[in-house]
């Protein structure tokens, strides 16, 4: 009987443990549910208030904010100061975390909130001195512009104060354990300086050219450059600098940042009024780099997009005029080789005398660690950037002269062009837009169209000087002033009836000044011109179709020649390529094969002789590859091609390598491959790299998308095929009715992942749909701000 009693006892114990386990599990589930409810409630309470009333300190009268179905706010104020105060408040509601990261990145203070992983990046931006340049710039602003900047900052700060007081800061601040510091006008200017950085310059290519002339024969170096500089031996007679190690860790802007814009006058449109289209190509992320708004006050009635953290509207229209921009990409950055005094590291030679450089203390606070003592050396030309990573040259260093580091007044220009009523007023405002240099296209309701390549562009007496670092110790190599504003490239009502730019070369041989050595490949520009010339009565729909065009002119130029170099193997794939319509459509296999093949050709030509860390500085490698192929097509010899084994060998090896890689990745037969299965867009959030947050911040899988780096529908991709660069905003307008325009902002307006406007435009962005925005919007959710 004893064994039976023990069995019964054990059964009762098991039952008791089951009950205890159930109770414990129940308690845990209740706690988890309570925690989820709490977290959910907290997250939801940080959503922007878009209806009702909110008290906003500093207002003189009530301000109305009506958001349309896409979340685009239309701010109606009875004074300009109230308008900009409300603009700051509304931007902060939707994008405060983005604004905080943007000013920290540009100012070099990310380490304070993310820790040691950002130290090198902070060092680089402290060295460049974007914030120092902003602080100098603010001294140049008019009293009226400063009032607008200050009102904007006050609106931001009112949001911060309310969010902190009511425990409604966005979850990102809680995750990072920080609160936003008060906003200052200089923060807005610093973000503007960062955009000048993001749109790039050419110092990286100067550094690469210098490296090429150190490492390769004159003939090899010449083939990598658009022109061979006559003064190169003089430079290279001096002590050389190790470019790769000196710039290790440098933050380089996206090579393919560019844009499309065009304007067509009424003689070529169905409405009889001008049509304008603009789609700036920048990084694709969540939140969008752009924030769309409409601003209405006694002096302003303007709609379009602006960078979060900046007042006004940078791209868009008012009731009289419309405008759009692309990047000029001029040579506005110049590396100078500086001779350091061996007896005083802070002195550098100029005109046979030692000049004292300015040493600026830039201590870097690091979250959870000791503050780093860091200093920046600035010569007469600018910051010494070849030693920011602590690779200090003993007797020679490289400094950077850059127009964006001078005092500039872009935000004042924005406020002026927002109020422009005609071309004269618009152009007067542009004179204050100095950096970055932009191609502005313009149209107005009176039927005029115009163009201006704008910005402060240095004069090079010898254009070859812009290819390499110059001598910092002689006045002979100093910039000779800047191209006068009235002599910058421009046009008003040209005979052709249209104007278009796509980062292409904008000058002819007759133009007296040097602009740039490195222009974008001509494919987008040529395709735009072809489509404009293809018909007479253009409509807004035609403008949209053009923005979404995916014809690949690079393939039209090279594909047949490349296929002719191949042997008889892979005949089915060769036939597949021969059957291609040259369109980079997401469901086709040919774009996948072609683009990967072109990258492999470039790799075959350069990678064996140019280290990976230097290839990052080889801006325009794609253009150089194209030129090498054109040389071969003409039957002429290319040194780089011959050293890589000749055209047939290079093309065949690249083709075979491409097919091997794609067969491993795609599994199916080539005819079943699809461009969009590799080439897909994912608007990623900066915190989504934290594993469990990805499902919240990056909802859904990457979405297949048509286009490529060289089609009008720009869709640049990284090494994994993720589309991370392209038309961050699309804008089309018929000046027959200047009160409305058509837009799409990918992936949406909001920065809060719970907002209905967070990713709601992603599908429209991919499929090519637009929404209409009205200057005098009266329908939608309404929030009233009152004093």
Rounded distance, CA 483 to CA 476, Å?
18
Helix 119-128, helix 80-107: angle, nearest 10: 120
Rounded distance, CA 681 to CA 715, Å?
8
197, HSE (Cβ side, Cα atoms, 13 Å): 25
Rounded distance, CA 522 to CA 535, Å?
21
For residues 501 and 261, the answer to whether their CB atoms sit within 8 Å is: yes
486, HSE (Cβ side, Cα atoms, 13 Å): 1
Phi, psi values for residue 511, rounded to 5°: -65, 130
Which pairing describes strands 703-704 and 63-67: parallel, antiparallel, or unpaired? unpaired
> pLDDT by residue (tens digit) across 634-685?
999 999 999 999 999 999 999 999 999 999 999 889 999 999 999 999 999 9
The domain locations on the chain are 46-550+674-787, 553-584+589-673
Cβ neighbours of residue 4 under 8 Å, at least 6 residues apart?
none
Rounded distance, CA 742 to CA 544, Å?
9
For residues 527 and 711, the answer to whether their CB atoms sit within 8 Å is: yes
pLDDT at 676: 97
Which position has the token pair 């911060």?
A: 160
Which pairing describes strands 333-341 and 470-471: parallel, antiparallel, or unpaired? parallel
pLDDT at 200: 73
**E strands present in 81-134:** none
pLDDT at 256: 60
CB atoms within 10 A of CB 620: 22
> pLDDT by residue (tens digit) across 302-328?
999 999 999 999 999 999 999 999 999
Cβ neighbours of residue 135 under 8 Å, at least 6 residues apart?
186
DSSP, residue by residue, 87-121: HHHHHHHHHHHHHHHHHHHHHT-THHHH-GGGHHH
Rounded distance, CA 515 to CA 519, Å?
10
pLDDT at 2: 57
Rounded distance, CA 160 to CA 546, Å?
42
pLDDT at 509: 85
Reduce the DSSP state of residue 224 to 3 states and report it.
Answer: helix
The whole model's pTM is what? 0.92
Helix 540-547, helix 523-533: angle, nearest 10: 150
pLDDT at 681: 97
Phi, psi values for residue 379, rounded to 5°: -85, -175
Cis peptide before 777 (omega within 30 of 0): no
What's the CATH code, domain 46-550+674-787? Answer: 3.60.20.10
**E strands present in 695-764:** 703-704, 715-717, 722-727, 729-734, 740-745
For residues 312 and 414, the answer to whether their CB atoms sit within 8 Å is: yes
- Which DSSP state fits 396? E
pLDDT at 234: 38
Averages of pLDDT over each 10 residues, the chain, 787 residues: 54 51 41 41 83 96 97 97 98 97 97 94 96 98 98 98 95 92 98 91 88 92 74 45 66 72 98 98 95 98 98 98 96 95 95 97 96 97 81 75 97 98 98 97 98 96 93 96 97 97 92 93 95 96 98 98 90 96 98 98 96 89 94 96 97 97 91 97 89 84 96 95 96 97 96 95 97 91 96
Task: Provide the token pair at 57.
Answer: 């300190």
pLDDT at 395: 79
Rounded distance, CA 752 to CA 697, Å?
9
> pLDDT by residue (tens digit) across 400-441?
999 999 999 999 999 999 999 999 999 999 999 999 999 999
């Amino acid at each position: 009987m004893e064994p039976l009693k023990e069995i019964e006892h054990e059964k009762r114990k098991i039952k008791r443990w089951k009950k205890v386990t159930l109770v414990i599990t129940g308690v845990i589930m209740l706690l988890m549910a309570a925690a989820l409810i709490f977290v959910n409630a907290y997250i939801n309470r940080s959503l922007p208030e878009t209806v009702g009333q909110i008290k906003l300190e500093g207002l003189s009268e009530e301000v109305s904010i009506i958001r349309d179905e896409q979340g685009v706010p239309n701010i109606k104020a009875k004074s300009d100061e109230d308008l900009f105060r409300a603009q700051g408040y509304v931007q902060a509601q939707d994008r405060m975390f983005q604004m905080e990261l943007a000013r920290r990145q540009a100012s070099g203070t990310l380490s304070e909130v993310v820790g040691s992983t950002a130290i090198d990046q902070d060092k680089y931006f402290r060295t460049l001195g974007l914030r120092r340049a902003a602080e100098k710039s603010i001294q140049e602003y008019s009293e009226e512009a400063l009032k607008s900047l200050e009102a904007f900052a006050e609106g931001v700060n009112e949001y911060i104060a309310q969010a902190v007081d009511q425990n409604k800061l966005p979850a990102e601040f809680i995750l990072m354990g920080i609160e936003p510091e008060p906003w200052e006008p200089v923060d807005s200017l610093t973000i503007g300086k960062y955009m000048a950085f993001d749109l790039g310059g050419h110092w990286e290519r100067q550094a690469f050219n210098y490296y090429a002339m150190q490492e390769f024969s004159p003939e090899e170096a010449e083939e990598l450059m658009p022109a061979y500089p006559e003064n190169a031996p003089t430079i290279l007679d001096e002590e050389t600098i190790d470019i790769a190690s000196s710039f290790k860790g440098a933050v380089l802007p996206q090579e393919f940042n560019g844009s499309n814009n065009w304007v067509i006058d009424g003689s070529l449109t169905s409405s009889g009024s001008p049509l304008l289209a603009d789609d700036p190509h920048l990084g694709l992320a969540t939140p969008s780099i752009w924030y769309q708004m409409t601003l209405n006050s006694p002096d302003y009635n303007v709609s379009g997009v602006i960078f979060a953290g900046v007042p006004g509207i940078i791209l868009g229209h008012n009731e009289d005029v419309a405008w759009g921009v692309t990047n000029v990409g001029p040579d506005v950055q110049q590396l100078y080789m500086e001779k350091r005094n061996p007896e005083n590291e802070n002195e550098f030679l100029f005109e046979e005398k030692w000049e004292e450089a300015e040493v600026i203390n830039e201590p870097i606070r690091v979250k959870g660690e000791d503050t780093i003592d860091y200093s920046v050396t600035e010569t007469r030309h600018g910051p010494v950037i070849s030693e920011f990573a602590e690779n200090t040259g003993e007797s020679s260093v490289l400094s950077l002269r850059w127009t964006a580091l001078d005092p500039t007044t872009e935000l004042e220009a924005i406020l002026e062009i927002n109020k422009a009523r005609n071309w004269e007023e618009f152009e007067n405002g542009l004179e204050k837009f100095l950096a970055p240099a932009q191609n502005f296209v313009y149209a107005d309701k009176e039927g005029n169209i115009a163009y201006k390549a704008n910005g402060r562009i240095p004069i090079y007496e010898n254009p070859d000087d812009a290819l390499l670092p110059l001598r910092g110790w002689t006045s002979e190599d100093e910039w000779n002033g800047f191209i006068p504003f009235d002599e910058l490239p421009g046009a008003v009502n040209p005979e052709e009836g249209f104007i278009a730019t796509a980062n292409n070369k904008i000058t002819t041989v007759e133009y007296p000044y040097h602009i740039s050595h490195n222009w974008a490949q001509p494919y987008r520009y040529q395709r735009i011109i072809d489509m404009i010339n293809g018909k007479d009565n253009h409509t807004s729909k035609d403008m949209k179709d053009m923005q979404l065009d995916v014809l690949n002119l690079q393939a039209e130029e090279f594909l047949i020649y490349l296929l002719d170099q191949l042997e008889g193997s892979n005949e089915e794939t060769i036939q597949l390529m021969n059957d291609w319509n040259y369109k980079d459509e997401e469901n086709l296999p040919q774009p996948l094969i072609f683009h990967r093949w072109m990258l492999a050709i470039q790799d075959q030509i350069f990678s064996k002789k140019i280290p990976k860390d230097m290839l990052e500085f080889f801006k325009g490698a794609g253009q150089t590859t194209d030129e090498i192929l054109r040389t071969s097509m003409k039957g002429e010899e290319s040194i780089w091609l011959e050293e890589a084994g000749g055209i047939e060998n290079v093309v065949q090896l690249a083709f075979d390598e491409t097919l091997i890689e794609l067969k491993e990745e795609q599994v199916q037969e080539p005819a079943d491959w699809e461009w969009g299965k590799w080439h897909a867009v994912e608007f990623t959030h900066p915190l989504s790299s934290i594993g469990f947050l990805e499902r919240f911040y990056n909802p859904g899988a990457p979405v297949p998308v048509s286009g490529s780096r060289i089609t009008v529908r720009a869709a640049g991709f990284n090494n994994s095929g993720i589309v991370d660069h392209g038309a961050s905003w699309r804008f089309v307008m018929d000046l027959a009715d200047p009160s409305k325009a058509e837009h799409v902002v990918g992936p949406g307006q909001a920065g809060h992942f719970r907002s209905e406007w967070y990713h709601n435009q992603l599908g429209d962005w991919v499929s090519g749909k637009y929404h209409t925005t009205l200057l005098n919007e009266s329908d939608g959710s309404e929030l009233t701000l009152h004093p």
